[in-house]
Amino acid sequence: MGKKDKKDKGNKTNAARMLDREKIEYELMEYDAPEGFLDGVSVANATGMPVEMVFKTLVTVGHSGQHYVCDIPVARELDMKKAAKHFGEKKMEMIHARDITSVTGYIKGGCSPIGMKKPFPTVFDASAEDLDEIVVSGGKVGLQIRLKTADLLRIVGAQTADICVDKD
């Protein structure tokens, strides 16, 4: 995994620029999204990455009005009660899709935990702790970023916790 050529401005998103500024090694992974949006499992398949390694970024809002970011494996589901408890909220809900851009600066299907308009309290599912490398959105549809998990958690100031719905 090496750093992408800095002169490759076509793929530079806020996420990639932030990683460059922090001198964090990463790999940009492009994939085709003909309809403009793919579900997370399809993205994992399109990039050839295991679904356990590819995380989706979900933006929520707590009862207090505070926004929170929850990153979970693409094949799993967020447990809102666990997430609310982690953040000390009474309850939480997903933000409306129409609000994603105004809150984060990213669009639906291209929301990266890296380089949002402003930093939000962020939690990754505890399964991230078992991964040396992780894949998240690169900041636009058709682009993923692969990097060391420790670097990602550090750059976004994230914690880890059990926030997914229990497996059957």
| Identity at 31, one-letter amino acid code | Y
Q: Mean pLDDT for the chain?
A: 91
DSSP 1: -
Q: Is the pLDDT of residue 167 over 60?
A: yes
Residues 6+ apart with CB under 8 A from 78: 58, 60, 70, 72, 163, 164, 165
DSSP 116: -
Q: Is residue 134 one of the residues assigned to a domain?
A: yes
Q: Is residue 5 one of the residues assigned to a domain?
A: no
Q: Is residue 72 one of the residues assigned to a domain?
A: yes
Q: List b or e across 26-50, with b for residues whose CB sees 16 or more CB atoms inside 10 angstroms.
A: bebbebebeeeebebeebbbbbebe
Q: Is the pLDDT of residue 8 over 50?
A: no
Per-residue model confidence (pLDDT) at position 4: 43
Which residues span the domain enclosing 125? 27-161
CA atoms of 127 and 167, how far apart (whole Å): 12
Q: Is residue 136 one of the residues assigned to a domain?
A: yes
Lowest mean pLDDT segment, chosen from 76-80, 139-143, 161-165: 139-143
List the one residue out of 29, 32, 41 whose CA is nearest residue 1. 29
User: What are the tens digits of pLDDT across the range 98-135?
Assistant: 999 999 999 988 999 999 999 999 999 999 999 999 99
Q: State how far Cα 9 lies from the chain centre.
A: 21
List the one residue out of 139, 132, 129 whose CA is nearest residue 160. 129
Per-residue model confidence (pLDDT) at position 6: 41
Q: Is the pLDDT of residue 164 over 60?
A: yes
What is the tally of structural domains in the chain? 1
User: What are the tens digits of pLDDT across the range 13-42?
Assistant: 999 999 999 999 999 999 988 776 678 898
At 9, give phi and psi (nearest 5°): -70, -20
The rounded radius of gyration (Å) of the Cα atoms in the chain is 15
At 101, give phi and psi (nearest 5°): -65, -45
Q: Using pLDDT thresholds of 50, 70 and 90, give the confidence band for residue 11.
A: low
Domain at 66, CATH number: 3.90.960.10
User: What are the tens digits of pLDDT across the range 34-80?
Assistant: 776 678 898 999 999 999 999 999 999 999 999 999 999 999 999 99
Q: Is residue 137 one of the residues assigned to a domain?
A: yes
DSSP 30-45: E---TTS---HHHHHH
Per-residue model confidence (pLDDT) at position 34: 72
Q: Is residue 9 one of the residues assigned to a domain?
A: no
